[in-house]
Amino acid sequence: MSAAPAGARVAAPHGFTRLGAFTVRRRRPILVIAVLFVVVAAVVGGRVIGRLSSGGFDDPGSASATAASELADRFGAGPSDLVLVAGSPTGTSVDSPEVAAAGRALAQRLAAEPGVRDVASYWSAPNPALRSTDGSLALVTARLVASGDAAQKRAGEIAKELAGNSPDGVLVVHVSGAPVVFSEVGSTIEKDLQRAESIAVPITMLLMLLVFGALVASGLPAVIGAVAVLGSFLALFLTTQVTSVSIFAINLVTALGIGLGIDYALFIVTRFREELARGREPHDAVTRTVATAGRTVVFSGITVGIALSALLVFPQFFLRSFAYAGIATTALAVLAAVVVLPALLAVLGTKVNRFRVLRGSMEVTDHGFWYRLSQFVMARPWPVLIGGVALLVALGLPFFRVSFGQTDDRVLPRSAQAAEAGQLLRDRFDSRESDPLTIVAPASTAATGVVSTYAAALSEVADVTRVDAVSGSWARGVQVAPTSPASTRFVAKDGDGSWLSVVIDVEPYSNAGKQVVSDLRAVPSPLGTTYVGGSAAVFADSQDAMGSRLPWAIGIIAVATFILLFLFTGSVVLPLKALVLNTLSLSATFGAMVWVFQEGHLSQWLGDFTVTGELDTSMPILMFCIAFGLSMDYEVFLLSRIKEEYDRSGDNTAAVAKGLQRTGRLVTSAAGLMAIVFIAFATSGVTIIKMLGVGVALAVLVDATVVRGLLVPAFMRIAGDANWWAPAPLRRLHDRIGISEADDAEYSADLDGRRVDPVVVG
């Protein structure tokens, strides 16, 4: 290379060039360490599923959580953990001698189970509310000594023992209760995960062979996937030592690890092949690849990680768990892509193209299909932009009909015994006797008369069936049962404090349930500070917590993404464009979720799940963060090549055309493979996992086709050179601290990484 002329500024190698040279120089130790890490992660992290928790949908700092804690600690009371729905298979009345005898035997059998307490049965203390409307079913309820994960495990064991036909054949028993439901959800997810992997892995391996065109290259995404997935299992295992982690997060680890492995391998390997095709030696090509594509992968990973980190603002550990899983998976995928994979490419060299099955696959060209598409779009940008935006808005319209709910037994397959039990309770019983609301007055020393006045007022609230208290039972403002020996359970163990049980006849996880909670809390309490608990209160508090924190999550994503894309491009226009278009593409996904999962269209094609008329509130939030991050992943890929061309030529239109041509097939291939990985989860028997799989798959496909292929080139053609505009102060700031694609692009290292030639850049 010629010497630098006098007065010219000579550039020094930047960090990614040095990183590329380092991976070449230390390639074998890096690969050995990577193998050892994967082995340790597989051995230790492989035990993570046994430590994951179900549930996590409630706000631990809410009034309903306080009510549950006070109820358990001060009164030794709480909701029924086990609800047995029993009846004769022939429909014989539960009051017949034979069925009644079998019912009492069932209650005794349940009471004899270790860890079970407070067994109540229709047959031991007849209560009309514990009998179905047609008299063919009755309830047996109980609580468990254990709590949390231990309660779920024990509930699952008892359900397996008691569900089905009774030993004498007189009764058919279904077992429900929150611990039973979540125990069954956990076991279903484990089976679903294995099935999804058995579907996604073979298909993606075959398609990667077609995309890469060579057997050796097609196996490289597995390197990143192994480090990301198994490493994340280890990270989650360590996280469970200090906090609860949802079992649902394991699905994200698998899908995101495999998907990002494919994305990043496509980008790194394609760039490496380009450099080889330009005549670079393999080790020099690795350095150049890390300096350009590696930098893009790091920025991409940061945007994905930021989008997922926004979930940390929510108090529910269900959502926080996806942040733990997603951040770990993304960070490890990036590390594997810019360190481990380049080291492997340095070892393979030109052998990366060995065992070709397709000629011309991923061949570098500047005038292919995507170039012609961009020319077509940029020749008529306004019609394409208006038409594309109108399409996405139309697809998103069903979201205006959204109705929010929360996960319950209906998330399971219809055939699951806990789901069958829950449906029997809804269809055949007048009230939610087994799942009442509780009103806890921990410091109350009020007389019985004051409690009676309060109970009477509560019983007049709409949709309240009955209120039980230390002073007896009340309905519609009138006392319907006097005090009894059982009434002592409403007084604290130390005599200071009392609580009331409020039976309602609406679905707890619904707007009607929220309204009942609001109405009860509005009733003036003569007992001092009171806390309303129970499923409906948990739902109301959880909705409020998510609603109040959602603006923070959106703000974090928007601001951080804007800053990152500004540092990457030096423009304030392109980050705004990315935020708007990504939001539009997600609106189409949300509309589809309402149309399919809330309203039940196409349900017969997706496993005939239970249509509740509601969407779990956490799912749109979760899908927004995941899909937004992946959309920005593709945005960074595309912008990196457009900016590289623009920095080289200064021609905005040509840069868009060439950038789209260089990344179009890569992005659509990556999105298609990512969609296959996520759509495999549509086979899940758990509805919210099915929804997550379908929603994210649809989001990445819409983004990679409609947004990247049509809307981005149309917008950038209309904006012209204004795409790269920023106010003068921000431009100067970017010049000092921003990322310039040209910096590392001008450096070259010799094969052993010992020398970096100076390059004139000014």
Residues 116-161 have pLDDT tens digits of 999 999 998 778 888 999 999 999 999 999 988 899 999 999 999 9
Residue 106, pLDDT score: 95
Q: How do residues 89-112 score in pLDDT, each as one tens digit? A: 999 999 999 999 999 999 999 999
Domain shared by 613 and 489, yes or no: no
pLDDT top residue among 610 and 367 = 610
Residue 607, pLDDT score: 83
Across 447-580, where does the E strand assignment appear? 464-469, 472-475, 478-481, 498-504, 531-533
* 710-to-370, 384, 386, 387 alpha-carbon distances in Å: 10, 7, 11, 10
Domain shared by 490 and 455, yes or no: yes
For residue 266, the one-letter residue type is: L
Domain shared by 231 and 172, yes or no: no
pLDDT band at 740 (very low <50, low <70, confident <90, very high): low
* DSSP classification of residue 117: E
Grouping H, G, I as helix, E, B as strand and the rest as coil, residue 411 is helix
> Tokens 């208006």 correspond to what residue?
386
Residue 762, pLDDT score: 24
Contacts of residue 394, Cβ cutoff 8 Å, sequence gap at least 6: none
Residue pair 568/694 in contact by the 8 Å Cβ criterion: no
pLDDT top residue among 74 and 523 = 523
Domain shared by 522 and 562, yes or no: no
3-state SS track over 54-106:
CCCCCCCCCHHHHHHHHHHHHHCCCCCCEEEEEECCCCCCCCCHHHHHHHHHH
Task: Quote the tokens at residue 531.
Answer: 């806390």
Residue 3, pLDDT score: 41
CA separation for the pair 641, 664 (Å, rounded)? 11
Residue 368, pLDDT score: 81
Share of the chain above pLDDT 90, in %: 66
Q: Give the domain-ending residue among 507, 540, 573.
A: 540
pLDDT band at 651 (very low <50, low <70, confident <90, very high): very high
Q: How do residues 462-512 score in pLDDT, each as one tens digit? A: 999 999 999 899 999 999 989 888 888 898 877 788 999 999 988 898 899
Residue 10, pLDDT score: 37
CA separation for the pair 252, 345 (Å, rounded)? 28
In terms of DSSP bridges, do strands 404-405 and 615-616 run parallel, antiparallel, or are they unpaired?
A: parallel
CA separation for the pair 471, 450 (Å, rounded)? 9
Residue 14, pLDDT score: 66
Query: pTM score > 0.85 for this model?
Result: yes
pLDDT band at 44 (very low <50, low <70, confident <90, very high): very high
Q: What is the DSSP string of 565-600?
A: HHHHHS-SHHHHHHHHHHHHHHHHHHHHHIIIIIT-
Q: Give the domain-ending residue among 162, 181, 200.
A: 181
Q: At what angle do helices 341-348 and 27-45 cross, to 10 degrees?
A: 130
CA separation for the pair 669, 271 (Å, rounded)? 15
3-state SS track over 148-199:
HHHHHHHHHHHHHHHCEECCCCCCEEEEECHHHHHHHHHHHHHHHHHHHHHH
Instruction: Answer yes or no: is 410 within a domain.
Output: no
Domain shared by 608 and 723, yes or no: yes
Query: Which of 121-130, 193-202, 518-527 tops mean pLDDT?
Result: 518-527
Residue pair 192/682 in contact by the 8 Å Cβ criterion: no
Instruction: Answer yes or no: is 67 within a domain.
Output: no
Domain that holds residue 166: 79-181
Residue pair 155/81 in contact by the 8 Å Cβ criterion: yes
Instruction: Answer yes or no: is 591 within a domain.
Output: yes
Range 37-42 contact pairs with CB under 8 angstroms and sequence separation of 24 or more: 37/227, 37/231, 38/226, 38/227, 38/230, 38/231, 40/234, 41/230, 41/231, 41/233, 41/234, 42/230, 42/233
CA separation for the pair 259, 265 (Å, rounded)? 10
Domain shared by 163 and 109, yes or no: yes
Domain shared by 131 and 14, yes or no: no
Residue 9, pLDDT score: 37
Domain shared by 515 and 529, yes or no: yes
Output the domain CATH number for residue 558. 1.20.1640.10
Grouping H, G, I as helix, E, B as strand and the rest as coil, residue 442 is coil
Mean pLDDT check: name the lowest of 209-213, 420-424, 654-658.
209-213
Domain shared by 260 and 381, yes or no: no
CA angle 731–736–739, rounded 5-degree value: 85
Instruction: Answer yes or no: is 22 within a domain.
Output: yes
Domain shared by 398 and 441, yes or no: no
For residue 186, the one-letter residue type is: G
Task: Quote the tokens at residue 336.
Answer: 């594997």
Q: What phi, psi does 58 have (nearest 5°)? A: -100, 160
Mean pLDDT check: name the lowest of 208-222, 395-409, 513-527.
208-222
Residue 503, pLDDT score: 93
CA separation for the pair 115, 383 (Å, rounded)? 68
Instruction: Answer yes or no: is 652 within a domain.
Output: yes
Contacts of residue 479, Cβ cutoff 8 Å, sequence gap at least 6: 452, 456, 471, 472, 473
Q: Number of structural domains, the chain?
A: 4
Instruction: Answer yes or no: is 739 within a domain.
Output: no
Domain shared by 675 and 657, yes or no: yes
Mean pLDDT check: name the lowest of 156-160, 220-224, 255-259, 600-604.
600-604
CA separation for the pair 410, 598 (Å, rounded)? 13
Residue 359, pLDDT score: 62
Residue 201, pLDDT score: 85
Instruction: Answer yes or no: is 741 within a domain.
Output: no
Residue pair 472/479 in contact by the 8 Å Cβ criterion: yes
Give how far the C-alpha of residue 682 lies from the chain's centroid of Cα atoms, to the nearest Å.
14
Is the pLDDT confidence value at 401 over 80?
Answer: yes
* DSSP classification of residue 756: B
Average pLDDT (212-226) is: 90
Residue 757, pLDDT score: 39
CA separation for the pair 745, 761 (Å, rounded)? 11
pLDDT band at 67 (very low <50, low <70, confident <90, very high): very high
Residue 360, pLDDT score: 52
Round the average pLDDT of the chain to a whole number and report it: 89
> Tokens 């006097």 correspond to what residue?
482
Residue 761, pLDDT score: 28
Domain shared by 245 and 309, yes or no: yes
Instruction: Answer yes or no: is 208 within a domain.
Output: no
Q: How far apart are the first and last CA of the chain?
A: 16
Is the pLDDT confidence value at 358 over 70?
Answer: no
* 344-to-17, 35, 207, 266, 347 alpha-carbon distances in Å: 17, 12, 22, 14, 5
Average pLDDT (295-304) is: 92
Grouping H, G, I as helix, E, B as strand and the rest as coil, residue 131 is strand
Average pLDDT (233-242) is: 96
CA separation for the pair 351, 214 (Å, rounded)? 10
